[in-house]
Amino acid sequence: MAIRDELVAQGVRFLQHPKVQNTPLSERLSFLEKKGLTPQEIAQALKRNDEENAARAAKAIESVTSAKAGERLKGRVGIVVGGNTGLGQFIAVRLATEGAELTIIDAKQGKGVKSVVEQINSLPGADASSTKLLEGDLHSWAFIDSSYSSVIKEHGRIDFVVNCVPSGFADGKQKLLTEIEEKEWDDALGVSAKAVFLSCKRAVQQMLTQDNTAIRGRIVNISSVYGGMVARKGHFTFGVSKSVVVQLTRQIAAEFAGKGIVCNAVAPGHIDDSIDKRDCVAPADANRVPAEEAGKALDVANAVVFLTSDDTRYIHGTNLLVDGGFMAT
């Protein structure tokens, strides 16, 4: 019995490995079968993996919700694209603790997935009507346009937009250039870079119509330390798509900073409590972090709060590193 229990435990550890989390389910099941797990044991491993992931996510969310609440964004109208999954949900919750009125735009999630809106509405003193969730195709202009229009119709303006769209590896796993098919390339770039482009375009269109004060609106894009700064074997589509996000940020700053639009990016490093590890430093590079510890999702979320607040007036086009000094070495 002890041997079988250890097999299940090994299966759970396998499922939680960062290089495995984003591979197709069929491949994960096939590996577990080859390791000698029975169908019942595979089911146990999958269940335990889901339970442990949920527990870690709840603990991480708690760290964000327990952060000192403030009013830096009180009354501000914001959109978080990709805010119902991964790192985006931590960012959304943190923005809400600062008083922001949010609309979360994301792809449809599976049944039983607790939405970030439920998490935000459970915060002390939360207004159940202040946060909304719109689900659809993130790389469809029609969906992005209609989602923005609904926010504008309700609030009359958009003060800030955060784009936190996951960049999956081609076919769900790391591949070299010679292994990537044309469709995989199109899918990878279409999911991340195109979604961020569409959101930024619609945001700028709206912000240009708003009051010609010092700042008309703010945009924050979530990039990566692997986006245009360093490359890593197997991160081909991921690195290129995140590089597009960084350059898109700079282009917007170059073209619209003089018109009252503040656009910056945040590049996460080794974040140990993010549900989606794809925007973070690979485990093999983690020992290069001078801070000698992994960052928290709260560290990234705090950086986003800073860049969406009035504290940023003269910061344009930067790619703010939240990496514990990783890029310094």
Terminal CA-to-CA distance of the chain, rounded, Å? 48
DSSP-assigned letter for residue 175: B
Domains of the chain: 2-52 (1.10.10.10), 71-328 (3.40.50.720)
- Residue 71 confidence (pLDDT): 86
**Per-residue pLDDT tens listing for the chain (329 residues):** 566 788 888 888 777 665 555 556 777 788 888 888 888 888 888 888 777 766 666 665 665 555 556 789 999 999 999 998 888 999 999 999 999 999 999 988 655 456 788 888 877 766 656 799 999 999 899 999 999 999 999 999 999 999 998 775 444 466 788 988 888 788 778 777 899 999 999 999 999 999 877 899 999 999 988 887 888 777 788 888 889 999 999 999 999 999 999 999 999 987 775 555 555 555 555 567 777 777 888 999 999 999 999 999 999 999 999 988 888 88
Helix (H, G, I), strand (E, B) or coil at 232: coil
Helix (H, G, I), strand (E, B) or coil at 224: coil
CA–CA separation, 196 and 151 (whole Å): 18
Q: Is there a contact between 160 and 107 (Cβ–Cβ < 8 Å)?
A: no
The dihedral region occupied by 172, where left means phi > 0, alpha psi between -120 and 50, and beta the remainder, is left
User: Structure pTM?
Assistant: 0.80
Following DSSP, what letter does each residue of 263-323 receive, concatenated?
EEEEEE--BTT-S-GGGS--GGGGGG-TTSS-B-HHHHHHHHHHHHSTT-SS--S-EEEES
Residues in CB range of 160: below 8 A, 6 or more apart = 73, 76, 77, 78, 79, 100, 217, 218, 219, 220, 308
CA–CA separation, 41 and 32 (whole Å): 9
Helix (H, G, I), strand (E, B) or coil at 101: strand
CA–CA separation, 202 and 145 (whole Å): 7
